[in-house]
Structure 1
């Protein structure tokens, strides 16, 4: 399968070419599997790029009123926003394993901080926190810590393997309870760019809770959905995106009947019913935010990123804001304090495409209005452009 065919698939399946834009944010989330949500603003900007008529209120409605989208820890121990019907799949395929690891880590930190019988102490604090939250219905971390003294326990700097003042375990405990599927992040205390979420019991947020699925079944379903959105792709791509072992990746690909295809000398995979050549796509451009699910969808990125990684990624592999043209990354952008969307093209894309990039920058600037967005992970081009 050629690079041109992969780029054509990306344009339509990820709703990036203007004719392929969607009407509904849940449709977008389902078609790209999940929004990266480590940076709260990235969810909204990634949706903006893919919707015909994006509004903050419509996206918030899906997140906090309809609750058709759920924010949860998932693949690679990373925060995602996923369709509610996919949440049990992600939970069983990825998050349950994270919860086990997080408990071991927290017990060790507490032990190193002088807590006797740290496992029992932690379990008692967990159960108390869940009961308190059930009584309140919704609460911030600060409110919960005020009512459950164990949440105010400090971790000694030595226990955290770093210097600095002691830190309370509040965030660690709440993150683990969320990883177990017992509580969920709700509406933030601030604006749509805030990461200060209020917490709710899972059964209050989703009345049916999270269905319990066998891990093997969930991994097969997640692999199927990912390959539908991101295929053709290599086993290494799926391993990186999910955080699974090589053995689990191999088994999942076998179970879904993935078909091998040639990707410029590498072995790729597609679903058995997904071998048709994609239709040609009219020229298009897009401005995508940092940690966008498309740019972060594969570990082998040469076919769309080219030589631009050092300018557009940070040193730990997090993508900054990018400009796309016809399925490849061609530049980066940033918002200045004035609200202006500044951008830089890293290769020649022709006069017409340059004009379209300028138009997209103006459209984004108008949509953001008085909002000011700074990516959580700063990259060289974004820093230079932001000033």
Structure 2
């Protein structure tokens, strides 16, 4: 059984994730990491830029004009931006699991609010909202104005003492089952104000839904190419799935067993078992919740002991600075949009120079705009506002 060293795994990040050599376009950049995190609207743009050097117009074109990249609620109840041909797999597997969870919780809260048949009530609200969206796409506020039942107030999820309109939760159910998508954005590029649109209207036709087993097989196959070698625990975490589902998917995908440097059992894509080497230096500045930062459950080989400086208590990572496959710091913006690299550890002259060049390029790409993030790394918390600007150098 082949052992894959930590050094090789870091080389694989540079090659597979299009960070050492840029991808040929936005769609290729997305495929390089299977899909992009889209919890924050700006992260899609910044992750795509980091891998392709695409300008904002090209990224918006992929999202809203060509519609080759589509946002979908999927693994771990997180919004991702998927290549359009991967939607059927996600909808049938990871998204389907989320649908069941969201529907059950919403039905339970409805019954606690005095509604007799929670599941039937949820089905009715979803049908009403979907019909309204098919008649005319709209933002959440617009849909609530057109569908009064979406204003029904029940206990907010996880906060039984707080009553909130049910509309957002109904839209989450529809988004996870894939019948509606986040279509056009009514906000600026770095702010998410989705215009909810029926999937068949957004893509001209419904991309379909694979059955659960086939869906997980395809997601695991793509993940192994992007992130392999990885462990069973890595995949259970990334997919938000059960060990049973992951083990079956690994078998269905024909995954090849391997060993990590510490002897832990792992898996490689069946067509990617040869040693990978990268004979060049590379630097990258990645955004909040970037797929490379968040791709594994076991992160020591690229994160070291820097986790407490970059991750919050819920396991969410802020912006990161990379050198040759390792996280070596974070980055912030000044009020004028200038990007500053904030190291966690001493940097070599080559690393410092390369990261400063990346910062200059990203500053030019921002063109004076400052991006807010809800995930400020502990390393710079207190000197960086939630609005993205640093309060002091």
TM-score scaled by length of structure 2: 0.93
Q: Distance in 2 between matches of 1:77 and 1:293?
A: 15
State yes or no: 1:194 paired with 2:197: no
Q: Quote the offset at 1:362 in angstroms.
A: 1.3
Specify the alignment match of 2:387 in structure 1. Answer: none
Aligned ranges 1:211-360 → 2 under 5 Å = 211-264=208-261, 265-360=263-358
* 8 A Cα contact 1:72 1:178, kept in partner: yes
Task: Classify 1:201/1:245 alpha carbon distance in 2 versus 1 (closer, same or farther; 3 Å).
Answer: same
Q: Distance in 1 between matches of 2:51 and 2:380?
A: 22
* 8 A Cα contact 1:333 1:381, kept in partner: no
Task: Classify 1:280/1:182 alpha carbon distance in 2 versus 1 (closer, same or farther; 3 Å).
Answer: closer
* 8 A Cα contact 2:229 2:267, kept in partner: yes
Q: Which deviates more, 109-118 or 3-12?
A: 109-118
Show structure 1 runs of 5+ residues with no match: none
* 8 A Cα contact 1:11 1:281, kept in partner: no
Number of equivalenced pairs: 381
Q: Distance in 2 between matches of 1:181 and 1:350?
A: 47
Q: Distance in 2 between matches of 1:117 and 1:244?
A: 29
Q: Distance in 2 between matches of 1:177 and 1:280?
A: 43
**Which stretches of structure 1, 4 residues or longer, exceed 4 Å deviation after superposition?**
none
Show structure 2 runs of 5+ residues with no match: 385-389
TM-score scaled by length of structure 1: 0.95
Q: Distance in 2 between matches of 1:329 and 1:313?
A: 12
Q: Deviations over 1:195-226 (max 9, x none)?
A: 11111111101222131211111111111110
Q: Quote the offset at 1:382 in angstroms.
A: 3.8
Aligned ranges 1:1-387 → 2 under 5 Å = 1-17=4-20, 20-52=21-53, 54-136=54-136, 138-156=137-155, 161-164=159-162, 166-264=163-261, 265-383=263-381, 384-385=383-384, 386-387=390-391
Q: Quote the offset at 1:160 in angstroms.
A: 5.1
Residue aligned with 1:275, SS = coil
Q: Distance in 2 between matches of 1:308 and 1:294?
A: 15
Q: Distance in 2 between matches of 1:69 and 1:336?
A: 31
Give the RMSD, CA atoms, in angstroms: 1.5
Q: Quote the offset at 1:240 in angstroms.
A: 0.7
* 8 A Cα contact 2:69 2:84, kept in partner: yes
Task: Classify 1:134/1:296 alpha carbon distance in 2 versus 1 (closer, same or farther; 3 Å).
Answer: same
